[in-house]
Structure 1
Amino acid sequence: MKKLFFVSALGLFSIGAFAQDAVNKAMVDQYRKDKEKSDKDVADPKNSAKASFWMERAKLYENIASNGSEVDSSAAKTALEAYKKVVELDVNKKGEPGKSSKEATNALTGAEGTVLFNAFVKQGAEKYQAKNLAGALEMFQAAQEINKKDTTASLYGGIAAQQLDKKEDAKTQFEKYVANGGKDPSVFYGLAQLYRADNNFDKAIEALNKGLEKSPGNKDLKSEVVNILLASGKEDQAINELTTLAQNDPKNVQNLVNLAILYDNTSSKANQRIKEIQGKLGQGNSKASSLTKNLESEKSKIEVYDGEVKRITALIKKTPKNTDLKRQLADVNNKKKESLAAIATMEGEAKAAAASASSTDNAGLEKELADLKAKQKDASEKAVTNYKKVLEVDGANYDALYNLGVFYFNEAVQLKSEVDNMNMTEYQQRGKEVEGRVCGKFKKAKPYFEKAVQAKDEAEAKENLATVNSVLEQFTAKQVACVEE
């Protein structure tokens, strides 16, 4: 998990905020002497039995914490314990608290006019500056016990705990900050990240929504709601949230890109499920036939790869020292190897399907298939629409250009599978017409890959562009006329 550092809070951690310029050396020396005497007197049974002694000790250490931390960097803790002794000892015969006990109780509960709480926060800040995060956290936690409604110590405590990677402590501290009315958006964001790291997505969303109640226009909180919805598999909700963001800020390119990608992913998932259902609907020989067709489709890729190998090899002969061409050749050979492995697997599946058949709820699957096809069509259209909206705002946006290229490339591949599944009679009747549309899809993808390469020199775009060019050359060689729809 990425650790978050709260700039607004850390700015308050400057030692300058607790400058000691007004404290002269004589005062510090006096604190040291008084401390030595008080520490020595603790061992005296007579002194240690008096509430007045512990009150003097509490105030001494409180002053040291506030004005002379160089004498004792944890003086606030000693002051706290001394005040507790006052409360313990200053009681009358009826067990009721005396005047000193009440004063000590006020200090321990952060009543108005008391300084113990500030002493803990100050020494906690000093420990933080000295990179003693564990000590800082201890001080801030103690401060919270004094003033349970304050947000300062819980904010600082959460920061220290987070940097210590004490996630549970950090959550506790930030939750206290939120409960006491804290408003810093970065705290709500950080709290959501802590819950997200535990896959507690509901709590993460809850934290972000609380933050949005305090800062309704905060874009980071709104965007993170979308991210967490995606991480939790709630894509439909994420689309709704992102659609609202895009409508409210139509020039925000990233929102449009993300929305387009969401629709793109929805389309891809629907396509995958469509294939699964179509596979289930094909029983016995039908299923085997379908798998065989898929196998042939996979085998057709070898032809593309072989063409690429031939093309790149010819270029390498012309420029044998070109390392990029050698890398491309290796990539193509690896893809061919993967395809051959897939072919081997698919051959086994086809044989297994031919040997057995299973009962299927065809009616239910056919309805699901029809619904999925409608969903896939709607999602793909909205993906393209939003990618094009991105390009209206930023014509050189790499993500939109590349993904549109991939979109039309995949459409071409899917359409090509129709040709691959045709028997000879079907091919003679309409094979050339479908091939022309396939060529048109590849041709439609080409300018997007070209512009993507111009926008950003990325290997993936260059490789896809090279593949498209190779395929188009093959169509030209076969004298297939491209038909763009």
Structure 2
Amino acid sequence: MKKLFFVSALSLFSVAAFSQDAANKLVVDGFRKDKEKSDKDASDPKSSAKAAFWMDRAKLYENIASQASEVDSSAAKTAYEAYKKVVELDKTKKGEPGKSAKEAENVLNGGEGTNLFNAFVRQGAEKYQAKNLNGALEMFTLAQEINKKDTLASLYGGIAAQQLDKKEEAKTSFEKYAANGGKDPSVYYGLSQLYRGENNFDKAIETLNRGLTQSPNNKDLKAEVVNILLASGKEDQAIKELEALATSDPKNTQNLVNLAILYDNMQRTANDSIKVLKGKMGAGGSATDVIAKNLESEKGKIEVYDGEVKRIGGLIKKQPKNADLKRQLTDVNTKKKESQEAIVKLQADLTAAQNASKGNDVAGMEKQMATLKAKQADASAKAIANYKKVLDVDAANYDALFNLGVYYFNEAVILKGEVDNMNMTEYQQRGKEIEGRVCGKFKKAKPYFEKAIQAKDEAEAKETLTTVNGVLEQFAAKQVACVEEQ
């Protein structure tokens, strides 16, 4: 995920330190003396009651902000407050703004030829470079009040707010930047991340699309649209966006890899759904068969116990004082009682399983199964095709190589599951043939992992290759011939 940092941009506003020659020192000293006098007069009731005093103070501090920030790093703010004081005090007899008030209002509104806005931006940049982010944010925010159509202060205000993790202030500044026609794609990207962090995916995508209006060919903005569509669960729409990107820029391997991964994930999800559906389709019949078999077994035990009771009872008649025979009879009766209780429970379970089986919509599930299989096959084909497109452009692309290896590895594991679930009869009939295909898929996966390791020495590829080699050695020991399918 990209982050917004515009340190280099802000450095454009860095101001070279005053050279310490005699003339400049006199200027700075003059500003200091004038500042001290103005500060003293500001607390004088007579001076502070006059609009003219506040106008002089406003202009003084504006000049300090523009020419000698070392005298007061927040001079622009003091000038801003002084201009507001002029507006407050300079009224005609009719209560309307006087000449000085109109002049002050023009400055506060960023009128043509005024410099207070620039003074704020300058001092904001200085504070930013001094890592006083809160001070910088205050200056940039006040600058936006002066010039509401500006993009400069809103850009830098958003940056400072974002670095302070003041998300609402950052959004407000960046939104102003966008509303005023700002073009920097990084701002739209950063603003979209703020909305994404709130799970406001629609607003995030809307912001990216506004950025694309300004920068139609920006690849980062286009790619992030796809990322957010995926994060919001809109996989089908994300695929459409990526298909368009892949068509317009067929040499962009990252788009192709992302598209292949999407199809790969889609086929895996479909395969998982197929497993679940198979379980549902077989659950009713298989559960009923198991319960019925167990029920018959318990009934068979009752017959055995009845026979034992009869046999031991006959012996006791002949040996009425034999304690061991009496113990045996007690044990048999106890076991018979347990079987009778088990029969009652199994009969109830059998009824429930039969009812559940009747409730299955077999036709509906078969239709769903056909749809899932078609989706899985289509997604598989598109995943492989796009991985191979990547390798046509970049034969050493690690992601495509590793993911193709994983694809064939997983196919082998799924197929091996069929062998593992076979009984002896089934294995004798077709077990060897399927094992050959399993071996073939592991063998097909192997070169992709080997090439992936050559491209990038990653532990995941090396560990998986070790597993594949071990499996192939086991097949060789069993003299299983690997059958590679196209």
Same fold by TM (over 0.5)? yes
User: 1:21, CA displacement in angstroms?
Assistant: 8.4
Q: Does 1:276 align with 2:280?
A: no
Identity of matched residues, %? 77
Structure 2 counterpart SS, 1:282 = helix
* Deviation by residue 1:5-49 (Cα, 9 ceiling, x = unmatched): 135633424234x97889711111111111111111122222212
Distance in structure 2 (CA, Å) of the matches to 1:92 and 1:197: 53
Instruction: Look up the equivalent residue of 1:241 and give its one-letter code.
Output: E
22-31 or 86-95: which moved more?
22-31
Q: Which residue of 2 aligns with 1:127?
A: 127
463-472 or 137-146: which moved more?
463-472
* Deviation by residue 1:396-442 (Cα, 9 ceiling, x = unmatched): 22211111111111111111222233333333332222222222111
Distance in structure 1 (CA, Å) of the matches to 2:30 and 2:269: 75
Instruction: Look up the equivalent residue of 2:366 and give its one-letter code.
Output: E
Distance in structure 2 (CA, Å) of the matches to 1:174 and 1:430: 66
User: 1:456, CA displacement in angstroms?
Assistant: 2.2
* Deviation by residue 1:311-349 (Cα, 9 ceiling, x = unmatched): xxxxxxxxxxxxxxxxxxxxxxxxxxxxxxxxxxxxxxx
Q: Which residue of 2 aligns with 1:401?
A: 401
Structure 2 counterpart SS, 1:15 = coil
User: 1:354, CA displacement in angstroms?
Assistant: 9.2
Distance in structure 1 (CA, Å) of the matches to 2:57 and 2:13: 28
Distance in structure 1 (CA, Å) of the matches to 2:426 and 2:62: 94
Residues 214-233 of structure 1 aligned to structure 2 (within 5 Å): 214-233=214-233
Q: Which residue of 2 aligns with 1:116?
A: 116
Asked if 2 retains the 8 angstrom alpha-carbon contact of 1:441 and 1:484, the reply is yes
Give me the TM-score of the superposition, normalised by structure 2.
Answer: 0.82
Distance in structure 2 (CA, Å) of the matches to 1:43 and 1:410: 81
User: 1:74, CA displacement in angstroms?
Assistant: 0.8
Distance in structure 1 (CA, Å) of the matches to 2:47 and 2:422: 103
Structure 1 counterpart SS, 2:46 = helix
Distance in structure 2 (CA, Å) of the matches to 1:417 and 1:160: 57
User: 1:79, CA displacement in angstroms?
Assistant: 1.0
Which sections of structure 2, spanning at least 5 residues, go unmatched? 291-348
Q: Which residue of 2 aligns with 1:451?
A: 451
Distance in structure 2 (CA, Å) of the matches to 1:19 and 1:93: 46
Instruction: Look up the equivalent residue of 1:147 and give its one-letter code.
Output: N
Asked if 2 retains the 8 angstrom alpha-carbon contact of 1:6 and 1:186, the reply is no
After superposition, the Cα gap between the structure-2 partners of 1:78 and 1:238, relative to the gap in structure 1 and judged at 3 Å, is same
Q: Which residue of 2 aligns with 1:321?
A: none
Instruction: Look up the equivalent residue of 2:256 and give its one-letter code.
Output: L
User: 1:99, CA displacement in angstroms?
Assistant: 0.9
Distance in structure 2 (CA, Å) of the matches to 1:445 and 1:412: 9
Q: Which residue of 1 aligns with 2:196?
A: 196
Q: Which residue of 2 aligns with 1:70?
A: 70
Residues 286-365 of structure 1 aligned to structure 2 (within 5 Å): 286=286, 357=353, 358=356, 359-365=359-365
Asked if 1 retains the 8 angstrom alpha-carbon contact of 2:11 and 2:129, the reply is no
Distance in structure 2 (CA, Å) of the matches to 1:183 and 1:289: 70
Which sections of structure 1, spanning at least 5 residues, go unmatched? 291-352
Asked if 2 retains the 8 angstrom alpha-carbon contact of 1:282 and 1:288, the reply is no
User: 1:150, CA displacement in angstroms?
Assistant: 0.4
Instruction: Look up the equivalent residue of 2:35 and give its one-letter code.
Output: K
Equivalent residues, number:
422
Instruction: Look up the equivalent residue of 2:109 and give its one-letter code.
Output: T
Asked if 1 retains the 8 angstrom alpha-carbon contact of 2:62 and 2:116, the reply is yes
Asked if 2 retains the 8 angstrom alpha-carbon contact of 1:402 and 1:448, the reply is yes
Instruction: Look up the equivalent residue of 1:215 and give its one-letter code.
Output: S
Give me the TM-score of the superposition, normalised by structure 1.
Answer: 0.82
Asked if 1 retains the 8 angstrom alpha-carbon contact of 2:13 and 2:125, the reply is yes
* Deviation by residue 1:116-136 (Cα, 9 ceiling, x = unmatched): 111111111111111111000
Q: Which residue of 1 aligns with 2:82?
A: 82
Asked if 1 retains the 8 angstrom alpha-carbon contact of 2:155 and 2:174, the reply is yes
Asked if 2 retains the 8 angstrom alpha-carbon contact of 1:284 and 1:355, the reply is no
Asked if 2 retains the 8 angstrom alpha-carbon contact of 1:83 and 1:105, the reply is yes
Structure 2 counterpart SS, 1:24 = helix
Distance in structure 2 (CA, Å) of the matches to 1:37 and 1:478: 100
Q: Which residue of 2 aligns with 1:483?
A: 483
After superposition, the Cα gap between the structure-2 partners of 1:70 and 1:248, relative to the gap in structure 1 and judged at 3 Å, is same
Distance in structure 2 (CA, Å) of the matches to 1:439 and 1:159: 56
Instruction: Look up the equivalent residue of 1:60 and give its one-letter code.
Output: L
Residues 353-432 of structure 1 aligned to structure 2 (within 5 Å): 357=353, 358=356, 359-432=359-432
Q: Which residue of 2 aligns with 1:156?
A: 156
Asked if 2 retains the 8 angstrom alpha-carbon contact of 1:20 and 1:67, the reply is no
After superposition, the Cα gap between the structure-2 partners of 1:21 and 1:267, relative to the gap in structure 1 and judged at 3 Å, is farther
User: 1:285, CA displacement in angstroms?
Assistant: 5.0
